Structure formats: structure tokens, C-alpha cells
Structure 1
């Protein structure tokens, strides 16, 4: 058995994590540019990152060499709109050039509109608390779609709203480093989370409308969500249903999938947001979607949801992010998502951070990543064989890059980046992945 003939084998990145050129060609500051000082390991930042802004042709050539069918990238909002009411043509030109390079190489460009770096001018208006942010996002979406939709068909509105709201505004460990978590005043905290979430959801709905209105060729629209995923201890119906119930419970609020996906896909509003979202707003939020994008790296056993961590046994395999390696993650992710939402699934991120370095032979040997990919993709293949419509898999990430508050320590890439010289070195995993792509997963 192989994957479908039109399956998108790809890899992903995010603008702030790879582009660099933080103040070039008219780009304005974003919250990660302006506010991260003192919040990132080793006082590092994304000012240069992988210098993808200047080296995108080299990077696309590496993608072509690997045989990638798709590349998921994000557009930098502050590069396009450096200040209120200003559109930066140089910024649009960069992305036009990037998507042309991709399509000329036979690689499908998949565009994410927002991957965490909010323009500072919009942050100063309240950021995701701002009641008008959905209108600003709609205008930004129109601008990008009008510029790129002659070559881009696949669009994602947001990457991981659970993270940029949860980490950025609740826990305060990501930009803008605001912390509304206050267990002594839970009602006030809940109101803030509901308002933040409402503004993201409205922005999503208006963006979907804008894409359909402005796209030059038929668009395929989704999102890239992440969430706590719970998997069964065994295949009994009781165990599977317990894991499914935990995955879609409202108890986890914004960390759970249904907090975001139920309003977007089903038009159903979680109880905690019903007082702030009107019927008219619900209609805006719930727009027809073409696929369900999901980022996943690991799972929890459903017993952990009840306070018992059955999977955290001593010596359990973990990545360099200290995340557990759970080979059944993608299998259950796509089964549960398709079962609830009925949309084709695109794995928009999956991968592992490893302790990679260039060895004395000049190569980067990463057998752990190869094994990770082998077992995770085997689970995905099993789900496809059982009839789940999975349209693609985007490995995170194409390049080692700036890993947010972790700085440059955590290396996820298929390609090693020496940040002193910007030299790229393909890792062993990239050659293994190229073979998987060439035989369409036949040997998994």
C-alpha cells in the first residue's frame, strides 16, 4: 500500500523563525522583534535567524533536491503592514518571488497568514484584545491574497491559536509576554480568555470570507490547530471513547481542540464563550472549510486526563524538547478529527528536536529522527488505509531555526544550519524522507 497519488509530502516553516531581515526593505517591528529581549534563552532573537529572506533560492533548491511536493510557509504581517494603513510592496515582492521559485520547482506553496509575530502598531492598540483586530486581519488577508493567489491555492488562517493566546496572553512565556493567569480571580481571567478567543475566531471567519472573495484561483482553506490529544490504552470501544471524550472535553478550555474547531467548523460555541459571541458573530466565524490542518508532536494517555500519567514511565523516549515520543499520535489524531469534523486532514506540523551536530565526516547523522518519522508515518499510513482522507504531511521543519523562547538550541530541521556561517547541511533524515517521498510511503 502507498499513500494517495496526489498526497502532499512536504515541510514547513514560519516567517519569524527563518527569515531574518528584521528591519530591511520596509519591514516594521513585530512583537517578537520588539519585546523578546530578556525572554529568550541566551538573549537570542530572530533578527537574522536562517537568513531565508536572502537565501530562499538556495532553500527552495534543497526542497527540490529532496523531492518535496509542498512547502508550508507563513507571511510576516509586520513585513506587509509595517504601520497602520501602510502596505509594503517590497514585502509583497519577497513572497511573490518565493512562491514563484516554489512553483517553478514543482512545489505546491501553502500559505499561513498568521504565525505569531503581530505588528507592534497593532499590539499598541491592544493586540488580540482589540475589538477591531478582525477588521485589520481581514484587510491584511485581502492584501496577501490579491498578491499571491495567482500561484497559491492552499491557505491557512492561523497557526496554533491555543499557543499564541495561551503562551502569549495567559501564561506569559511568549510574546507579548502578558500574563492574565490569575487563579485568585478566575472569573476575570475567564472573561479575558473568552474575549481573546472571540477576536481570533472572528478574524478567522472574516479571513476565510476574504480569501474566497479575493482569490484569483479556486482556494482551499483551512487552519493549523494544535491541542491536547488523548489516546486509548487499548483498542476496546470503552477505551477509545474515553480518549475521544477527553480530547474533545471543554475542561481544557483553549488548550482543547473543540474550543477553536467547534466554532470554526460546526458553528457550536463552547459554554465559556457563549456570553461574548452573538448569533451574528457565530455566523461569521463558521465558514465552509476545505481541510482541517493539525499540528501534532505527541499524545497523552487518557488516564493522565484523570490525574494519572501512565505513559511517563522512567526512561521513556523523549525529544530534545522533552516531549514524549508516542508513535500512535498521528493515527489517533486523524481518526478523531475526521470522525468529529468530517473534513480531509492535513498534518501541518509534526517532527522532533534532536541533539544534532556536524560530525567529523562533515555529515549530520540523526538516526533518532529517522526512527521518529518511521513510526509516526506508519501510524498515519494505517489511518489512511482505514479510509481517513489525509491530504498531506508537513514535516516540522525544513530548516533548523529560531525556536521561540528556546532560542537556537532546539534543532527540528531536515537541514542543519550553522548560524555563524549560514551554511546548510542536509541531515541523514532528509535523505531518508526523500526516499519515502519517491516511493510514496510504500516501504513504511
Structure 2
């Protein structure tokens, strides 16, 4: 392996930089019918032929429900100090309101195992898996779901807060609202732009309502954030049509949720873009925007790639998102990941610098960053993933450059610890730094996993030329 990954010198991060890896419940847990767990919208969505590639589902996923001890051992072996995971609302409240003790006990066991290994948990309360019974009652477009979420958040906080000090309320509300209810690409598979806007507002309102309630009982050591996904808009051509397409996309993707949680309300430009739908403003009650703007301790940044908006007539495909009827997308610049996403680490640097200024110094944590590439299990079970190694080195370098230029970035969480169920793409896309054989559930640490371990150990962007595999076997090392 020496000499293949010829990157530069190690670049040190600030002291106390937060390192870790992330997962999500539905993507890894499996055991969808065990210990009283009820169906989520993703169980229902995946059961409909054609919704998920190859008709895959999350029934088994990575079997983390039964193998959490093994997975915590893997984290310990890699030296991962922080682990971001999500709780399955359907596991702990199958009917959306009543506690299932067996489901909650799973997260008790997980928290205890992490504590035994000195791994700091970061718990996400909602990562896209709404209980189906709540969807039957209207789902996120229904304002009542806000109260249900606040009660659920209150309950899991009471149970786990003695061991879990760091919390994410909601992960990527953009995707839940606009892919779930806007274009139907994700669960629950609804295509209704008006419903999507109501869902977006209620997701944010659920975040703010829960956060304000938890603040009343949390100690000073408890920290709260929300994780938003950002895709910088690249203006492909210097004409008004492209500029307007980029503006509309940027307002909806990058500022709609951010402005609201930062106390600025919804962007006036976005409100104008969706005014014809007559959906958002009727959903906003007095005091909602103040509730949504509950103070954060940090902002989670999920970054994978920029996007290239274009006038619909000149685009490769349509956006099909609220207010973007005239906007489409162009393919990203190569090289692309296997998801077809552009690799642009410099855009991450720019994003982190902009957010530091725009959010007036609020601490930032890169809560998700990673890449899918096809992996092959080689001789002696080794998984050699040079493209992913390069991606991580380049993006860690981008984070370091942002910090050097004044960005207030306090941590980096790799997506993902494990190969997993990748939503509508099923099991076709591998993001993990640990390879999972979905037939046998065998785990194998990839080169990218050892790279992450080296970054953590040295608190620096690794010089991957000298990447070491702790197995110390030439066959295993490739």
C-alpha cells in the first residue's frame, strides 16, 4: 500500500477536535418485527414494489440490533471517540405515543456499551423513520405530529440523558419534507408540494418545541443541535436564467431551514417562490417562528456534493421541488462517486467559511461526510478502497483549510461507520468505512477505516502514504 496514496504532510487540527462516525437506525438495525417494534414509513414504503432499488428493504440491514456489541468493539478497535446514532421512534413508541420497554432497553444497552469503551454518544432523535401510525394520521403535514415528537423526545431524553449528553433533534428535515412529501422519492412516497411545505414547517416546529422543552430540564453539560444538509449551488453559465435557477435552489436547499433555526424566519425569496402554492403561510401560527429559533449549542453540517441548477429547458432532469417548477439540474463535474455525486472538497471549505459568518460564530460540526464507491473484498478478506481514502483525505484537508481561515468547525463525523441500507438505493451503495457482507453480516475494516483511525490517533489529516493496517499482514494489506 505504501506509495499508492501519495498525499502531503499531516495537518494538525485544534485540540479537543471532535472525531467520530455516524449511522442511522433504519439503515443498520434490522429486527423490524422484534421486541414490539412497529412499522415505520420506510417499512411501508419499501414493501411496495419499485420504490426501492431491487425491492430491498430494511428487515435485516446490518443486523445491528443483535450485533451492537460487535459494532461497538469495532469502534473501539478503530479508536473512534464519538458515535452518532439515531433512535428508531417505531422501536420505542410503536404507536407513536406509548413506550415499548423492550425497544427502549436496546438503546439502554447501547449507551452502556459505549460508556464501557469510553465512546461518547451523540444521539439523533429523528432520522426519517416516522411511525406508520402517525403517517396514517396525516404524518408531518399534520400539526399534531409536532406534539407527538416533543413527547417522544422528552421520553428518550429522560431515559438516556444520564449517559447521553449530546443530542441532535432532527436530521435533514429538507429530505424528510421535500423527498418524502414533495417528489415522493423517499418515504412516505407522496408527491404534493403543498403537503411538503407544511411538513417542512412542522419538522422545524417539532425541533424547536422539543428543544425548548428539553432545555428546561437539561444540565449545563447537555448540548443540542440540528443536522441540516447543504448543497452549494454552482452557477454553470453566466446568464440570468442560470443565476435565477441557482438562487431559487439555494434559497430552498441551503437557507430555508437554516434561516428559520437561526431566527431569521423563512427567506423572503423562498416565500415569494412558493406563494402560489398558498401552503406555508397558512401553516405558520403566531409564535411558531420564535419556537423554531430556540438557541442551538452547535449546528450539524451534512455535506456530500454541490449541485448545478439550470433552467428546466436546458437541464438533464427536473427538480420537482416546491417553488422550483422552472428549475432543473445538470450532472456534476467528474470525478463522480457511485451515487453520481460530484467530488468538490473546495466547496466544503467555502461552505464552512460562509456558515461561520452567516451563523455569527455558532460552533459547527460536520455531522455527515463521506462517499459511496463500489468495494471488492480482496485476498485474505482485505477491502482496498483507494477512491474513498482519497475522498476522505481531500475533504479532511478542506475542513482543515476552513479552520485555518477562521471557520468555527469543532468536529468531523464520517458517514458512515458501516455499509448499510441506503434508502431508495437499497444495498447498491456502500458508504461505510467498515465493509458489511449483507449475506453473512461479516464486518471487515476497509483502508478508509484505518485512515480514519490514523486521523483520530494523530488529530491530523493523515499522510495516507504511510497508512498502516494494524493487522500487520502483507496479504491483508494488499
* Pair 1:332-2:350 in alignment: yes
* Pair 1:401-2:411 in alignment: no
The correspondence for 1:193, drawn from 190, 193, 196, is: 196
Please say which of residues 128-137 and 30-39 is displaced more in the overlay. Answer: 30-39
Separation in 1, partners of 2:83, 2:294? 25
The correspondence for 1:144, drawn from 143, 148, 156, is: 156
Conserved in 1, the CA contact under 8 Å of 2:172 and 2:227? Answer: yes
Separation in 1, partners of 2:290, 2:53? 42
Conserved in 1, the CA contact under 8 Å of 2:298 and 2:365? Answer: yes
Q: Secondary structure at the match of 2:287?
A: helix
| Corresponding position of 2:383 | 364
Kindly state the Cα deviation for residue 19 of structure 1 after the two structures are TM-superposed.
0.3
Separation in 2, partners of 1:382, 1:254? 26
Equivalent positions of 1:60-139 (< 5 A) are 60-139=72-151
Separation in 2, partners of 1:293, 1:44? 29
TM-score (normalised: structure 2): 0.83
**What per-residue deviation string (whole Å, max 9, x for no partner) do you get for residues 213-242 of structure 1?**
233563211111113313699xxxx9xxxx
Equivalent positions of 1:341-420 (< 5 A) are 341-342=359-360, 343-420=362-439
Equivalent positions of 1:282-321 (< 5 A) are 282-300=289-307, 316-321=334-339
Kindly state the Cα deviation for residue 252 of structure 1 after the two structures are TM-superposed.
2.5
| Corresponding position of 1:268 | 265
The correspondence for 1:221, drawn from 221, 224, 243, is: 224
* Pair 1:280-2:287 in alignment: yes
Q: Secondary structure at the match of 1:110?
A: strand
Q: What are structure 1's unaligned runs of at least 5 residues? A: 181-188
| Corresponding position of 1:322 | 340
Separation in 2, partners of 1:260, 1:7? 26
| Corresponding position of 1:205 | 208
| Corresponding position of 1:186 | none
Cα distance change, pair 304–211 in 1 and its aligned pair in 2 (3 A): farther
Conserved in 1, the CA contact under 8 Å of 2:370 and 2:415? Answer: yes
Separation in 1, partners of 2:408, 2:330? 29
The correspondence for 1:161, drawn from 158, 161, 173, is: 173
**What per-residue deviation string (whole Å, max 9, x for no partner) do you get for residues 353-391 of structure 1?**
011021133200001111011111101001111221211
Q: Secondary structure at the match of 1:102?
A: helix
Cα distance change, pair 87–217 in 1 and its aligned pair in 2 (3 A): farther
Please say which of residues 221-230 and 55-64 is displaced more in the overlay. Answer: 221-230
| Corresponding position of 2:57 | 45
Conserved in 2, the CA contact under 8 Å of 1:2 and 1:441? Answer: yes
Q: Secondary structure at the match of 1:268?
A: coil
Query: Considering only aligned residues, what root-mean-square deviation do their CA atoms show, in Å?
Result: 2.6
The correspondence for 2:31, drawn from 1, 21, 31, is: 21
Conserved in 1, the CA contact under 8 Å of 2:338 and 2:373? Answer: yes
Q: Secondary structure at the match of 2:380?
A: coil
Kindly state the Cα deviation for residue 443 of structure 1 after the two structures are TM-superposed.
4.2
Separation in 2, partners of 1:369, 1:319? 9
Q: What are structure 2's unaligned runs of at least 5 residues? A: 1-10, 272-279, 317-328, 464-478
Conserved in 2, the CA contact under 8 Å of 1:21 and 1:51? Answer: yes
Q: Secondary structure at the match of 2:118?
A: coil
